[in-house]
Amino acid sequence: MVMEKKQAPVYRSKNGMVSSASKQATEVGAEILAKGGNAFDAATAVSYCLGVTEPQASGIGGQSMAVVYLAAEKRYFALDGSSIAPYHFQPKDMPKKPLKLGLKATTLPSTPAFYGYLSDNYGTLPLKELLAPAIKMATKGFPVTPLIHSLIERSKEELKKDPQAKENFLPQGKPLKAGEILIQPELGKMMGRMGEKGWQDFYTGEIGKEIIRDMEARGGLLTAEDLSQIPIPIERPVLEGKYRKYGIITFPPPGAGRVLMQILNILENFTEEDIDLDSPYGSLILALAFQLTLRDRKQMPQNPDIYFQQSARKMTNKKYSREVTENIRRIIDKYSETVSHLPPDTSGETTHFSVADGEGNIVAVTQSIELVFGAKRTAQGLGFFYNNYMSAFEYKDRTHPYYLLPGNKPWSSVAPTIVTSRKKPLLVLGSPGSERISTALSQVLLRYLDGKQDLSRAIEEPRFHTSDLKKMQLEKKRFSREIESTFEETGFDIRRRGSYSFYLGCVQGIELPHKKNGYQFYGVADPRRDGAAKGPE
């Protein structure tokens, strides 16, 4: 029944670690650490490389968010690099459906400002040096992976409508095949200008002027006034909690670390034996925790820029989690005959990367252009894909904190996370995948913290996801029939995804040095995408 497992790429180093969804980007980050750069330098270089080698997932035209640990200060903070709705957008111009395609779907990109801030304030190397590997990769090209080919194929009808995307991704009108070389000369040239003139050129220099010319020519909403309001990221307090004996440090609103926190708070009310994910009973507990938590998130939206929200701290409250737990127990009791007598089993869009350096600094970044290839349109002459974050707002309820208003920030599901043990960082991880982010992370954390699996196995193991709609997504041929039957008999509508599904997240993790791992950095990349982990020699 259970398929042969894919092996998660693993790497060990005594001097730092990078784990990302792109082998090339990971290599670049490790090289930056090896030449003396710190985690913030490496993160900047990795991000720009991901915009080249994983263009369907993130890039200069999107937004970035991170949980950061400054070792010298022993300080954690969340760096909120939310993009921003155009300031001149008027609610009276509100479309009936969320904007997903074309230049009207684009919010003000924040990624250049995010890394400009990170590099200027915490990095040690010049931006020009950090951009050089990405520029080389864009101009000389890299081999297309089977995953990228499949995503170009899936999006080809929309990509054909964009002259630059068509030329680069669909030469002769056909998607680049796996193994063929993807060259993005316009993107390389644009990053070269940023290296020479500074990241601010994206907003107030010649790059910004080209963006505005493109917006005006093709009916976009961004204006020169929008670009002049440079979206400098905000340092916010992290969201902190505990799971059993471990500390959990994750991303606050507008991200979704509170979803991960509520799931873990619920699970803490069960024994480690109860929530064995290889058993029908444990899997059902987790599925119900997912369902009820994601329902709560929809019912209790929280925007840190809007005050007097009654539900602001409810989702992370331990007392409230006990109420949800009792609800789960009642649901399980209803199906107890089905569940308790089953034999034990014997058997995006977004991207995330994690970086740690030898000095103890940590950066966990989740960044995105929202859906696959964002707005499906590139900035003409500049080469990057515009995001489509205008689709991530509320369009109907005017009282909703993420209602589409001028200058508002979109709702986000990111949850980059650091786990601590005895107040010291133990684990750094994160995932792409929209609302599947927190469900993917919680499954990995349960297997690692409760199941005592090593990080590579915890990341490799099968995953499922369910939301408040009772639709269950799971990896086919990787769960026992008993577990699948339990889900079906409890009312879940199962949809089987690929055995190692791109859809169900891509966890990039680093275990920090401690006695049990020989005081080494232990990096793991999720086999569900094209990633790798590597550290300096």
**In the structure, how many helices (H) and strands (E) does the chain have?**
17, 19
Sign of CA dihedral 152, 158, 160, 164: negative
CA–centroid distance for 191 within its chain? 23
Please give the span between the terminal C-alpha atoms of the chain, in angstroms, as a whole number: 41
> Is omega for the bond preceding 344 within 30 degrees of 0, making it cis?
no
CA distance 21 to 33: 18
CA distance 522 to 528: 19
HSE toward the beta carbon, residue 333, CA cutoff 13 A: 6
Determine whether the annotation assigns residue 413 to a binding site: yes
Q: Please identify which residue in the block is written with the tokens 């869009």.
A: 349
Helical (H) or strand (E) element with 131: helix 127-140
Return the structure tokens found at 467: 């939301």
Determine whether the annotation assigns residue 150 to a binding site: no
CA distance 29 to 41: 8
199 — phi, psi (to 5°)?
-65, -25
Catalytic residue among 350, 366, 417, 486: 350
350 is catalytic: yes
Beta-sheet strands, E only, within 358-423: 362-368, 417-421
Determine whether the annotation assigns residue 434 to a binding site: yes
Return the structure tokens found at 528: 């569900």
Helical (H) or strand (E) element with 444: helix 436-445
User: Helix (H, G, I), strand (E, B), or coil: what is residue 401?
Assistant: coil
Residue 186 identity: E
Catalytic machinery residues: 350
Per the annotation, where are the binding residues?
Answer: 412-413, 434
Per the annotation, where are the binding residues for L-glutamate?
Answer: 412-413, 434
